[in-house]
């Protein structure tokens, strides 16, 4: 074999979204893009706010030298200080700039944390349904992903299921709220209960167990719902986020890691995160995007736009008779498939030119993910296709 066996195996396991993309391309070429209803990709469709464009133009026009050179691997000190101030105000915790590391999107941040934390064979727990990349990120650094199912009725953490997968090798639990693929939001009460339970597990195993929050959707919240904070729930916690969704900058890869300021070995953790950011080849987050952040406080895309799409697609699902948990954030729906074999259901949907992703790709067979990152016209025009799909199961 010309490539590493683990990568060859990973390519097989990571193929669902790629398969949907390829199927979509074929169908669009055959029937025309307006006849294919693509709900497969979570690619933000809102353009960055005008203030982002104004800020980037101003920064590019600044004649001062050195703006595009290397900076300290953790990021520009002034930007780290700005983010620490924001978090001090938001979280009520004594953040310093050294607790913040600018990273190449949330995916980059998760790899930086995993590299700093894991030794070969260490385990990280994901809560199913979960973002499939977690397994690859953990594998990148010699770790093993274990999975605990959430509660079927609401996709919130199930402490009994978590208890069953905990071992002396467990180093961390990843939580993702608002969640991909369900759109469920973890309240502060939910995270506080999880944090309290986790401290009993730390006593049981005699070592820290970290609560890692992957929160690229943290500002995409609907119905005045508030996202809970892992930083308030557990001292051994790390927040990882990006501005891919709230500023519409997914392709610019700008995010940050926030280390809980009361974590044991704080100084060692600070050094480790900066070091792993460097040696993984990221070196530093994009300079231009870093410099833009302090000018964009309070700026975000129109969250109401995604909420309207949520309402539209939930209304359509209710009309055609497909049940789901109503999402409170992000831009995903995770309904129940109309047959036990979610892969077969998704393939049947393709016959109606509906592009979906099977729940099996997120560790939860029997459901499917629908991304409503699309114009409202796509949802509206897909109505007859959904009706035909549902009718075919009667």
In a domain, 341, yes or no: yes
In tens, the pLDDT along 41-71 reads 888 999 999 999 999 999 999 999 999 999 9
In tens, the pLDDT along 134-166 reads 999 999 999 999 999 999 999 999 999 999 999
Question: Residue range 85-112: average pLDDT?
Answer: 98
In a domain, 147, yes or no: yes
Say yes or no: 44 and 87 in one domain. Answer: no
Task: Kindly tell me if the per-residue pLDDT of 309 is higher than 90.
Answer: yes
Determine the Cα–Cα distance for residues 269 and 275; give it in Å rounded to an integer: 10
Please report the pLDDT score of residue 20 as a whole number.
Answer: 75
In a domain, 308, yes or no: yes
Last residue of a domain, one of 271, 295, 319: 295
Say yes or no: 15 and 83 in one domain. Answer: no
Say yes or no: 132 and 106 in one domain. Answer: yes
Angle at 19 between CA 18 and CA 23, to 5 degrees: 120
Last residue of a domain, one of 295, 313, 348: 295
Say yes or no: 278 and 377 in one domain. Answer: no
Task: Kindly tell me if the per-residue pLDDT of 317 is higher than 70.
Answer: yes
**In which band, very low, low, confident or very high, does the pLDDT at 76 lie, cut at 50, 70 and 90?**
very high
Say yes or no: 120 and 227 in one domain. Answer: yes
Say yes or no: 152 and 232 in one domain. Answer: yes
Last residue of a domain, one of 243, 278, 295: 295
**In which band, very low, low, confident or very high, does the pLDDT at 215 lie, cut at 50, 70 and 90?**
very high
In a domain, 62, yes or no: no
Domain count along the chain: 2
In a domain, 55, yes or no: no
Say yes or no: 187 and 255 in one domain. Answer: yes
Question: Residue range 268-285: average pLDDT?
Answer: 98
Q: What CATH number is attached to the domain comprising 320?
A: 3.90.1150.10
Task: Kindly tell me if the per-residue pLDDT of 1 is higher than 70.
Answer: no
Say yes or no: 138 and 33 in one domain. Answer: no
Owning domain of residue 346: 5-48+301-391
Answer yes or no: are the C-beta atoms of 352 and 362 closer than 8 Å.
no
Prediction pTM value: 0.96
In a domain, 218, yes or no: yes
In a domain, 130, yes or no: yes
Q: What CATH number is attached to the domain comprising 228?
A: 3.40.640.10
């Amino acid at each position: 074999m010309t490539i590493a066996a683990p990568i060859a195996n990973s390519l097989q396991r990571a193929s669902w979204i790629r398969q949907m993309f390829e199927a979509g391309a074929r169908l669009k070429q055959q029937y025309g893009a307006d006849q294919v209803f693509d709900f497969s990709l979570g690619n933000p469709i809102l353009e960055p706010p005008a203030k982002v464009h104004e800020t980037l133009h101003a920064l590019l026009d600044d004649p001062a030298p050195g703006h595009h050179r290397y900076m300290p691997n953790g990021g520009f000190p002034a930007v780290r200080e700005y983010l620490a101030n924001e978090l001090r105000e938001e979280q009520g915790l004594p953040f310093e700039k050294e607790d913040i590391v600018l990273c190449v999107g949330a995916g980059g941040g998760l790899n930086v944390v995993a590299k700093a934390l894991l030794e070969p064979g260490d385990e990280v727990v994901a809560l199913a349904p979960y973002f499939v990349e977690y397994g690859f990120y953990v594998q990148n650094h010699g770790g093993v992903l274990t999975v605990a199912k959430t509660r079927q009725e609401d996709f919130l953490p199930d402490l009994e299921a978590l208890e069953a997968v905990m071992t002396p090798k467990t180093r961390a639990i990843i939580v993702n709220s608002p969640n991909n693929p369900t759109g469920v939001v973890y309240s502060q009460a939910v995270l506080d209960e999880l944090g309290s339970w986790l401290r009993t597990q730390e006593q049981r195993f005699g070592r820290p167990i970290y609560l890692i929050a992957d929160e690229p959707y943290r500002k995409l919240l609907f119905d005045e719902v508030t996202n809970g904070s892992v930083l308030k729930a557990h001292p051994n916690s790390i927040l990882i986020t990006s501005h891919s969704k709230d500023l519409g900058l997914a392709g610019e890869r700008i995010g940050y890691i926030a280390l809980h300021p009361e974590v044991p070995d704080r100084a060692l953790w600070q050094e480790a995160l900066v070091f792993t950011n460097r040696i993984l080849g990221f070196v530093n987050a994009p300079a231009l995007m870093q410099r833009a952040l302090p000018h964009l406080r309070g700026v975000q895309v129109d969250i109401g736009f995604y909420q309207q799409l949520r309402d539209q697609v939930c209304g359509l699902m209710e009309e055609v008779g497909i049940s789901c948990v109503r999402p409170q954030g992000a831009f995903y729906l995770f309904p129940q498939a109309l047959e036990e074999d979610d892969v077969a259901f998704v393939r049947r949907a393709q016959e109606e030119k509906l592009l979906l992703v099977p729940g099996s790709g997120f560790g939860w067979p029997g459901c499917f993910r629908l991304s409503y990152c699309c114009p409202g016209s796509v949802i509206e025009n897909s109505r007859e296709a959904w009706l035909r799909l549902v009718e075919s199961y009667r």
